[in-house]
Structure 1
């Protein structure tokens, strides 16, 4: 059974910029934190879906109201890969997490728990690159290869390096509706689109780009 552990986390807005977790994050092996901003809602619950194809709601647990419209809680039985969403007030529709890290079924489907700390990077000595004087290759991942994935694009990194490319600018990668797009209609700004692969595929692409001596930057759209 999922249990929300009521631990107080202060939101300090009086001393300049403060870093506060938003979305879902792994606290430890048996605990996940959840925080969502829903200032017009009186009640917010996080719902976990079953692993069956029916996608039935298996657990529903309440979040505590915080200051400034935030709701927060800790769940002790969620796991990496669990599908989840939010129930708002008495609305029984499942809403995806606006700060989701992955939407495996698209922007309107359930969100998925992702451990952002488990990937094993090999670029510890990567020095970075200066922006001035670089040879930039603008890449649309979906059309760069026949497969249209980060994994397929990574297999072309050595060739790009041989051409003198020193910096790849990826066109927007935030998840967006539909099957094809330039990425300029992204709606899940923290979730790399499932069309190109998984979040770890994106991490691996960056890791391998650094191994090839190529930096990676993003074209981003926030409006």
Structure 2
């Protein structure tokens, strides 16, 4: 494995100012390139990753938060999103986007957590909970849930999925919160707000349905 210090074994991780380390598992590939997309007109630059043992490819590239990218396998002119993408701004078929979760300013350091016994759980579908169908809009309604005695919010699956509406049971980007509900930081804001009100947040996950 690369000597770069990473949190997760695969995906794109910011490792410095305008520096991102990519690591992918593609055991049947001979070559793997990161394709940076610099403009809506599809201006692209190609960056080869270095093969590692056991089918991994990795490398650091001059790219920062917000940069969009895809992957090219064996030099073919077909470009794929990152299977370990953390954000798909245009949905599952669009380019992946580099994010840095360490930039978010949490305010819940005093959150004590909860015990299992005696909790009152509200199951929430973000897309239909409010007219806007976003995490930020849902966060504005959390005080009402706390007021009526809810102690835990259970979100229905939030992994990104094709199309404009879904209950969460057809997720295809399992590391990517749905772009339809907002950005990854919008999700963090929702959780941070919930904790400030004494609400725990848990997640329903579906890997195959």
Q: Same fold (TM over 0.5)?
A: yes
Per-residue CA deviations over 1:70-117 (Å, capped at 9, x if unaligned) read 111111x20110100110003211100000000001101100010111
Misfit runs of 4+, over 6 Å: none
Q: Greater share of helix residues, 1 or 2?
A: 2
Question: How far is 1:29 from its partner?
Answer: 1.3
- The answer for the alignment partner of 1:15 in structure 2 is none
* Alpha-carbon displacement from aligned partner over 1:157-216 (angstroms, at most 9, x marks no partner): 000001100000000000000000001100001110000000000000000000011000
Extract unaligned runs of 5+ from structure 1.
1-6, 11-18
Contact 2:18 2:65 in 1 (8 A): no
If the length of structure 1 is used for normalisation, what is the TM-score?
0.89
Structure 2: how far apart are the matches of 1:9 and 1:129? 38
Cα deviation digits, residues 33-69 of structure 1 (max 9, x gap) = 101111111100001001x221221x10110111211
TM-score of the aligned structures, taking structure 2 as reference length: 0.95
The structure 1 residue matched to 2:180, chosen from 191, 195, 213, is 195
Verify the 8 A CA contact 2:2 2:58 in the aligned structure 1.
no
Tell me the number of residue pairs that the alignment of Structure 1 and Structure 2 aligns. Answer: 208
Q: Secondary structure at the match of 2:143?
A: helix
Instruction: Mark the runs of 5 or more structure 2 residues left unpaired by the alignment.
Output: none
In the alignment, which residue of structure 2 is the partner of 1:101? 86
CA distance in 1, matches of 2:119, 2:54: 43
Matched position secondary structure for 1:204? helix
| Counterpart-to-counterpart distance in 2, 1:140 and 1:175 | 14
